[in-house]
Amino acid sequence: MISFIGRSVIQKIITLFFVSIVSFLIIHIAPGKPSQVDPMNPKFTPEVVERFQKEFHLDKPLHVQYLYFYRDLFTGETVSWKDNQSVLKKIWERFLNSLPLFIVGTIITWTLSFPIGIRSAIFRGQFYDRSATFLSYLLISIPGFFFAYVLIIFVVNQFHVPVIGMETFGIGDGASLPHIFMDRIWHLLLPSLLGATGGIAVLSRYVRSQMLEVEGQDYIRTARAKGLPPEQVHYKHALRNALLPFVTMFGLILPGLIGGSVIIESIFSWPGMGRMAYEAILARDYPVILTVNFVSAVLVLAGTFISDLLYLIVDPRIRL
């Protein structure tokens, strides 16, 4: 067990190292320079541009820039080129904004997918299964922004309530606490629902196929042959075993913490991580892009690590 942990930690660190190099190269070799070094503004003289280059270490060779950047990152001193704010602070702020979206989205995904998936498996091939299949694929087949616009226009025209932003603008002045809380929930509803559609479709299909696979096993057949009521066979014997792989998925949702969809966040004016990263890409704000990338890589690796561990714990057949 310990040797497994040690080995996999070392492995992940090596992977991280390569990720850091690759992302650094992608950003720096690609054409285009930071917008501060953008001479399309007549006010920018070559001297100013040069001074910016120097300030950002852009005049140094790549490997030196690499070292500078990761030194700053690990000492927590990276600052955004756009506004000289600490990148970690910015990311933390955005993370807190994206977090509720992520949590509600995940809860919606998981609570809806399981009942749908299980029932689909039980009624395999019947009307329920088919319509569930159809609906879940329908949901992931709509271009996200099209769906979002249609929803927003519908809700705003029908109910005359605001849907964009993290809260109704200006509600902070004078409203009671439950009002503010519920208002936030309302504003979470549409974007998290849109974010969850893909997850619901994929996860419910996965639950269905897991259930089907388990139901094909001999011990289920045995249980059935014993004359147990089908309900019990489904929900007790089959479900429990079908659930196993999903425990490990808890680790895999970790990277979603920092993901955040640019499109949904832009449409819903949500000041989240995705938008910050997107704007950083447009402005070539290298420190922000690279830090977001690094943090998300850490989360992905941590996620797989946790899911491996969970697998180890829940599945008694695996002993390392």
User: CA nearest 81: which of 45, 31, 36?
Assistant: 36
CA distances to 110, 194, 233, 243 from 246, rounded to whole Å, are 10, 22, 19, 5
Interface positions, 58-97, toward another protein (CB under 8 A): 79, 82-85, 90, 93
Tell me whether residue 104 or residue 310 sits nearer to another protein (CB atom).
104
Q: Compare residues 73 and 258 and give the one whose CB is closer to another protein.
A: 258
> Min. distance of Cβ 1 from another protein in angstroms?
21
Inter-CA distances, 25 with 21, 30, 73, Å: 6, 8, 17
Q: How far is the CB of 179 from another protein (least distance, A)?
A: 5
| Footprint on residues 144-203 left by another protein (CB under 8 A) | 144-146, 149-150, 152-153, 156, 159-162, 164-166, 168-171, 173, 175, 178-179, 182-183, 185-186, 188-189
Residue 271 sits in the site that holds another protein (CB under 8 A): yes
Query: Toward another protein, which CB reaches closer, 292 or 310?
Result: 292
* Member of 99, 262, 306, 314 binding another protein (CB under 8 A): 262
- The pattern of x and - marking residues 201 through 240 that bind another protein according to CB under 8 A reads ----x---x--xx-xx----x-------x-xx--xx--x-
Given the complex with another protein, which of 1 and 150 has the nearer CB atom? 150
Nearer to another protein, 6 or 39 (CB): 39
Contact (CB, 8 A) for 88 and 98: no
Q: Minimum CB separation from another protein for residue 312, in Å?
A: 18
24 binds another protein (CB under 8 A): no
Q: Which of 7, 63, 71, 130 binds another protein (CB under 8 A)?
A: 130
> Which of 74, 159 has the CB closer to another protein?
159
Which segment (26-34, 68-76, 306-314) binds another protein by CB under 8 A?
26-34
Site for another protein in 289-308 (CB under 8 A): 289, 292-293, 296-297, 300-301, 304
Contact present, 98 and 53 (Cβ < 8 Å): no
Instruction: Work out how close the CB of 71 gets to another protein at its nearest, in angstroms, rounded to a whole number.
Output: 15
Indicate which single residue of 2, 3, 29, 75 sits in contact with another protein (rule: CB under 8 A): 29
DSSP per-residue string spanning the chain: -HHHHHHHHHHHHHHHHHHHHHHHHHHHHSS---GGG-TTSTT--HHHHHHHHHHTTTTS-HHHHHHHHHHHHHTT--B-TTT--BHHHHHHHHHHHHHHHHHHHHHHHHHHHHHHHHHHHHTTTSHHHHHHHHHHHHHHHS-HHHHHHHHHHHHHHHH----SSSS-TTTTTT--HHHHHHHHHHHHHHHHHHHHHHHHHHHHHHHHHHHHHHHTSHHHHHHHHTT--HHHIIIIIIHHHHHHHHHHHHHHTTTHHHH--HHHHHHTT---HHHHHHHHHHHT-HHHHHHHHHHHHHHHHHHHHHHHHHHHHH-TT---
Q: Which is nearer to another protein, 218 or 317 (CB)?
A: 218
Q: Which stretch binds another protein (CB under 8 A): 68-76, 284-292, 305-313?
A: 284-292
Figure out which of the listed residues 33, 57, 70, 311 binds another protein, where binding follows CB under 8 A: 33
Question: What's the CA gap between 319 and 29, in Å, rounded?
Answer: 45
Residue of the chain from 59, 76, 115, 126 that contacts another protein (CB under 8 A):
115
Q: How far is the CB of 319 from another protein (least distance, A)?
A: 20
